[in-house]
Amino acid sequence: MDEFMQAAISEAKQGRNEGGIPIGSVLVKDGKILGRGHNKRVQDGDPVTHAEIDCLRNAGRIGNYQGTTLYSTLMPCYLCAGAVVQFGIRKVIAGESRTFPGAKEFMVSHGVEVVDLNLDECEQMMSEFINEKPELWNEDIGF
C-alpha cells in the first residue's frame, strides 16, 4: 500500500476518533498531497461534508485538476463522484467497495480511471463502524 492510501486511512481514523464516520481522502498531484479530509457530517452537522468533499475544500482553488488523483478509503458515492467528474479528476483510487459499491460505473462512464484496491484494512474499518452504528451509516448513505 502506498503512502497516499496510508494518509487517507489516517484521515478515516481521525474522523472515527472524532465520533464521525471513518472515511478519509487525499488529493495528490506530482507525488504531493494537495489536500486531505475526512467525513465530518457528524462533527459539523453538515450532510454534504463527505471525506472527498472535505478533501477538495481543504485543497482549495488549485485552478486545474489535470494530473491529480483522488484517494479514498471507500468507493465514492454519487455526490463525491459528481465532484470528481465536475472538476475533471481523471483517476480515483478506492480502498474498498465491498461495504458500499459507490458510483464506480458513473465515474468510469465519464472517463475516470477507477482502481479498487479491495484492502482488508479499509473494509474492516467500515464493517466495524456499520455494525456498531447502522443508523448513522444508513443516514450517511441516504437510507
Query: Annotated catalytic residue: which of 3, 11, 18, 52?
Result: 52
pLDDT tens by residue, 20-54 = 999 999 999 999 999 999 999 999 999 999 999 99
C-alpha cell at 24: 478519509
Produce one character per residue of 61-98: b if its CB has 16 or more CB atoms within 10 Å, e if not.
eeeebeebbbbbbbbbbeebbebbbebebbbbbbbbbe
The answer to whether 3 is a known catalytic residue is: no
pLDDT band at 1 (very low <50, low <70, confident <90, very high): low
